[in-house]
Structure 1
Amino acid sequence: MGFLSTIFTWIWFQLDLIVHSGFPVFFWVRPKWSIDDIPDQSGKVVLVTGGNSGTGYATALSFYNAGAKVYIACRNEELAKEAIENIKNGGINSLTGFTYPKDQGGKRKNGTVEFIKLDLSDLQSVEECAQEFLKKEDKLDVLFANAGVMASPEGLYTKQGYTLQFGTNVLGHHRLINLLLPLLLSSPPAYPSRVILTSSAGHGGAPKGGVDFKSVIRDASDPIIKDGQQPRQGKNEKMRWVEYGQSKWGDIALAKYLHNTYGRQGRLISVAVHPGMVATNLARHLSLTPYIIKYAPWLAPVITRTPAIGAVNQVWAATIPEYDARWISGEYLVPYQKVGIARPDLQDDKKIEEVWNWCDEQAKKWA
């Protein structure tokens, strides 16, 4: 009976993963809520990693329009400043550029938006970002761990020698969350801060057990790729899509750990979200992306949703009333506004704790 139950659970997970992938062909799976429906966020302080593009930009724009103080955390100051100007002008982003609606609907409360430098692939940069933020603010209402890398070529590593995808998507975000945790936990009990981590249906492609920790550390025999050289897969490194899968599995694990440790006490709300199939520059490493943009832009809405729709889950999770938010803490949301089915091995609290503890150990090496 145990074996049959396991098989059934796995099949049900696969079906839910496909139907709630956010793929437009499942036309009946669509949001009943828009990021324009966000309630007043005046007085709120929000930090969005990767807030200069894609769903991060749409999220930052939504909170700015609702009156919040928004920090865009990213590597490139020039791109961040461009994004900030677009946000102030009400620009709506897409894969091919920005549009500026003439009618803003009278809903804009014009918050504030600032740039803060952050390179998630460099733990030193993460430390500096956290230190700068702590100097600027004495509270943090929402932290969006939104930035990420998808399907980057094998053989690329972070500054500290971790595979680029896992090092950026999981290790970098873990360190940022950990450094800002005292601030997050200082919120009044009636209004706990929220941490929203962007995951993916791709977490289903993680290796057995979720994360192969040996595979995410560059082996001493692996070559260091210099500019202009072709990346080569490391000795222990997983193929790019498996590596992506375990990084997204790790993001759900981080959300669950935060809930298990702090959410059950009512001190913090943490949620992992799958944004769906979204037209963003996250797909820049895919060989077909530049051809679609140049020769078949009409194909984008057939196979993907807009960044604004992709941001629905995370903005909704960050702004629903506290009572409702507590019910989704520790959960994995899928398109749209639905508690989804995470891979069955994410129910193992020991594996979840192992991910957090491993990240802690790595951070100590470079502190």
Structure 2
Amino acid sequence: MGAYLSMLTQQMWPAKSKFKVEDIPDLTGKVMIVTGANTGIGKETAKALLQHNAKVYIAARNQEKSEQAIKDLEQQTGKTALFLKLDLADLHSVKAAAEEFKSKESQLHVLFNNAGVMICPIDQVTAQGYDMQFGTNVLGHFYFTKLLLPTLLETAKTAPEGKVRVITTSSSAHLFFGLDFATFKDGPKRRKIDPGRLYAQSKFGNVVFANELARRYGDQGIISVSLNPGNIKSDLQRYTTGLQRRIINSILYPTPYGALTQLWAGTSAEGLTLNGKYAIPWARVGPARKDTADPELGKELWTWLEEQVKDI
């Protein structure tokens, strides 16, 4: 545990970033999806991508909030993002979103699996009965990525660098709990677990998924990176209360900081060398829990995820 606390401390109070939004290269002709980009870190990420001429899809559940975000971003950048309706807590919505995107685009250069929920009330579950945090943060993003893999792989064949990227947002919370497969779906065992632990489990799952994606598709041009965006003020904290909220708010950085690390991984030349790596604030490679890189655990999780979506 001492090693994990050391890693946590390193990531909570990071050194000044050597990477800036201004360092992003021209992204003309690049098609990108940012899940959860109607608010918070995702919105800041979309803003920077638009400023550098990418074609950006804001994939989110709430159309009204997304349309307002698109208006805000247009005022700030002079560029217009596109809305893609995506509810990660409903696998049928995930499938519909992927099909909608593929009906409009033949290329996808970067998928930012950015959206997430944190410390949800225990009675919240997904449309298919999964724990809300694991179902949204891990299973929903897995299925969305799986459905977009053919487009990603085709894009890699024609991309000048021969690469495309899948950037998956995790958290330093992954340091504290591993995976308990018996709690992924709702049931008595899950309901005995604190929502904070369930959140940490989902963030651990994000890293395991990203690493397994890297192993399976790295030789076909997919760069898969997971990351901790930092302790950032955003809508993620909406379920925190009282002392918990005060403690969390005391260590939070402004929202734009949260976009830096995933923008670095998703747009920089250096990002093309990060397949299977874990990035930490601000814009640097760092350590994740060692067991997130266990290939047997990666295979086990991937097999479980595949089983959940096979009949959707």
Instruction: With the length of structure 1 as denominator, give the TM-score of the two structures.
Output: 0.80
Q: How does 1:101-180 map to 2 (within 5 A)?
A: 110-180=78-148
Instruction: Report percent identity of matched pairs.
Output: 39
Q: Secondary structure at the match of 2:125?
A: coil
Q: Mark the runs of 5 or more structure 2 residues left unpaired by the alignment.
A: none
Q: How big is the shift at 1:290?
A: 11
Q: For residues 121 and 147 of structure 1, do their structure 2 counterparts lie closer, same or farther at Cα, with a shift above 3 Å needed?
A: same
**Higher percent of residues as helix:** 2
- Structure 1 spans left out of the alignment, 5+ residues: 1-9, 91-107, 220-233, 293-298
User: What per-residue deviation string (whole Å, max 9, x for no partner) do you get for residues 166-188 of structure 1?
Assistant: 00000000000000000011124
Q: Look up the equivalent residue of 1:124 and give its one-letter code.
A: H
Cα distance in 2 for partners of 1:134, 1:200 equals: 30
Q: Which amino acid aligns with 1:171?
A: L
Give the equivalent residue in structure 1 for 2:52.
66
RMSD over equivalenced CA pairs, Å: 1.9
- Shift of residue 35 of structure 1? 2.1
Q: Which whole-Å CA distance do the structure 2 matches of 1:284 and 1:188 have between them?
A: 38
Please show how residues 216-295 of structure 1 align to structure 2 within 5 Å: 216-219=184-187, 234-237=188-191, 238-263=193-218, 265-288=219-242
Q: CA deviation at 1:30?
A: 2.4
In structure 2, do the counterparts of structure 1 residues 150 and 187 end up closer, same or farther at CA, with 3 Å as the change threshold? Answer: same
* Partner residue, 2:164: 193
CA distance in 1 between partners of 2:198 and 2:136 (Å): 12
Q: What is the rounded CA distance, in whole Å, between the counterparts of 2:86 and 2:220 in structure 1?
A: 29
- Quote the offset at 1:235 in angstroms: 4.0
Which structure would you say has the larger RCO, counting Cα contacts within 8 Å and 6 or more residues apart?
A: 1
SS at match of 2:122: coil
| d(CA) in 1 for partners of 2:296, 2:8 | 24
Q: Answer yes or no: is the 8 Å Cα contact 1:13–1:341 preserved in 2.
A: no
Residue equivalent to 1:211? 179
TM-aligned CA deviation for residue 236 of structure 1: 3.2
Q: Give the counterpart of 1:307 among 246, 255, 265.
A: 255
Q: Which amino acid aligns with 2:146?
A: N
After superposition, the Cα gap between the structure-2 partners of 1:61 and 1:135, relative to the gap in structure 1 and judged at 3 Å, is same
Q: Distance in 1 between matches of 2:9 and 2:266?
A: 25
Residue identity opposite 2:16 in structure 1: R
Q: 3-state DSSP class of the match of 1:150?
A: coil
Question: Superposition pairs for residues 31-42 of structure 1, below 5 Å?
Answer: 31-42=17-28
Aligned residues: 307
Pair 1:50-2:41 in alignment: no
CA deviations over 1:253-299 (Å, ceiling 9, x no partner): 11101110111x1510010010111010100000149987xxxxxx9
Whole-Å separation in 1 of the counterparts to 2:171 and 2:267: 21
